[in-house]
Every structure is written in C-alpha cells, then in structure tokens.
Amino acid sequence: MVWASQHGEPQQWAWTGGIDEWRLVDISDKQVRIGAAVTLAQAVRFRELRSLISAVIDGAAVVGSVQLRNQATLVGNVCTASPGGDTLPGLYVHDAMVEVVNAAGSRRSVKISEFLCAPGKTNLAPGELVTGLTLCGLAPHEGSTFHRFTQRNALDLAIASVAARVRFESDGQTVAQASLALGAVGPTVLDVADAAALLVGHALEPSRLRQCAALAAESCRPITDHRASQDYRRQLVQTLTMDVVAAAAARARGSIAMTL
C-alpha cells in the first residue's frame, strides 16, 4: 500500500482478504494451519494458539500497533522477509511450512528457512502466492517463547530478538528437545541448532544455559547500523537467549502442571 501510494495509483489489483479458505485457522491434533488472510490481531485473540504456538503469538502481539495488527497478516509478516520480523523466529522454532500456489493451481510447501532468502527476498516465483502456513504446535512438557529488544516500547523494530522452544522429559528436569532462532542479527532469521543442542540431555543449570547463550551469540552475524552496533547486538543475543530459554522452560513446566 505504501509502495503503491508512492508509485501512483495501481492499474490492476485483486483483494485476497475475502477468500474464505484463507481466513481460517485449523487445529488438528498438534498441527496448526493459519490462512493467509488471518490478521495478527485475530491470531493473538485466538486463545488456543497462545498455548500451541506461544512464541509466534508473543511476536504477533508486538508487531506495529493496535491499528496495524488489525490490518496486517501473519503471512504478510513472512512475505515482507525482514530480518527482524517479529513473528519469524517463533515460526522457525515451530517448524513452519509455507504453502504456495501458482497461477496454474499447482501447490508446493516450503520450509520457512528455505522460503526466506535474504532481506526482503523470498523464494516465491512470479505468479506464485502464499495461501497459508502450517505449524507444529507444542506437545505436553513443552513450551516456547519469543523476546525482542527495542529502544521504544511500541512501533519499533527489534535490535535483536530470540525465540526458544524447550521440551522436557517426563521427569520435568531433563531437556529432551530444544530449538533456538535469532532475529535481526543476520540477513535472515538464524536457526542456531548447535547452541540449542547443548541443552539436550541435561537439566537447565545456569552454567549450561550460559554455554548455550555464548554459542548463540558467537553464531550470529549482526551488522552495525543506526539502531545498534554489531558488538551490542551480539551481547544482546547472549542476554536474550538466557531469558528466553528460561521463559520457555517455565511455560513447559506450566504445561507439565496442567497435564498432571
């Protein structure tokens, strides 16, 4: 819209926001499908999504402002392909698949990490559209969280952001599975599997958490710009990772309490 108003009136346009299939949220077992016309505000208000894809909803709740979230969609946030997109790290830890259709009607499904190529660039070919996202929701003993750091509390872009997903063994102590994704510190979101792997098979002791956060900070590729320096962003990743893993673990323990 902004681009269009700066480049003169559009000669041709189509409104996809009214397509019924695109406006749906489907939940079957732990699988969540979100149509391309579902707004961020609708996703945030959908209570079941908060417990199934917590990290994505944490991000959706802080994009822009009240007005923008009423208009903007989750799929729009994906297609913008900003390195700092607030929903993107959460989508990574929830193994999002992007559903694509072309003009001939043939469909394909792409992993989010392959869909996002570079700042502002996706792997959509001419004539293709995104129809929705499929996400892997949280299992029992599992939690996910997204945190970001901004200079202002609203209408600001992240200087750095981190999403974590943690699943405990049934003992509630040993980490069975973990994933971590970093935003705004590389050309696209970075999946730091090596750092997350350090948590698996162990209890979440402070020393292990520090080790994981240090490796995440080492693995990121931030730039220096008007928002922050490279070095500051790297230190932020370390702090945010510690916080976000602890918060995801607390949610996972909450889900343990709920399933008992």
Report the nearest approach of another protein to the CB of residue 25 (Å). Answer: 17
- In the bound state with another protein, the residue whose beta carbon lies nearer, of 17 and 120, is 17
Query: Closest separation between CB of residue 1 and another protein, Å?
Result: 5
- 71/170 with CB nearer another protein: 71
Please report how close the Cβ of residue 154 comes to another protein at its closest, in angstroms. Answer: 3
Helices (H), the chain: 2-6, 40-45, 47-52, 54-60, 66-71, 74-80, 88-93, 112-115, 193-197, 206-219, 230-259
Nearer to another protein, 70 or 170 (CB): 70
Assign 182 to helix, strand or coil. Answer: strand
For CA atoms 178, 80, 37, 244, give the dihedral sign.
positive
Residue number, 71 or 229, with CB nearest to another protein: 71
Cβ proximity to another protein: between 9 and 29 the closer is 9
How far apart CA 80 and CA 154 sit, in angstroms, is: 19
Q: How far is the CB of 166 from another protein (least distance, A)?
A: 26
DSSP state of 28: E
Output the smallest distance, CB 95 to another protein, in A: 28
Nearest distance, CB of residue 226 and another protein, angstroms: 16
Q: How far is CA 93 from CA 19, 139, 168, 192, in A?
A: 28, 13, 15, 10
Strand partners, 164: 145, 180
Phi and psi based region of residue 163 (left: phi greater than 0; alpha: psi -120 to 50; beta: remaining) = beta
Q: Where along the sequence are the contacts to another protein (CB under 8 A)?
A: 1-2, 4-5, 9-11, 13, 15, 17-18, 41, 44-45, 64-68, 70-71, 153-155
* Burial profile 217-245: b = 16 or more Cβ within 10 angstroms, e = fewer: bebbebeeeebbeeeebbebbbebbbbbb
The smaller minimum CB distance to another protein, of residues 28 and 153, is found at 153
Tokens 């916080």, located at residue: 243
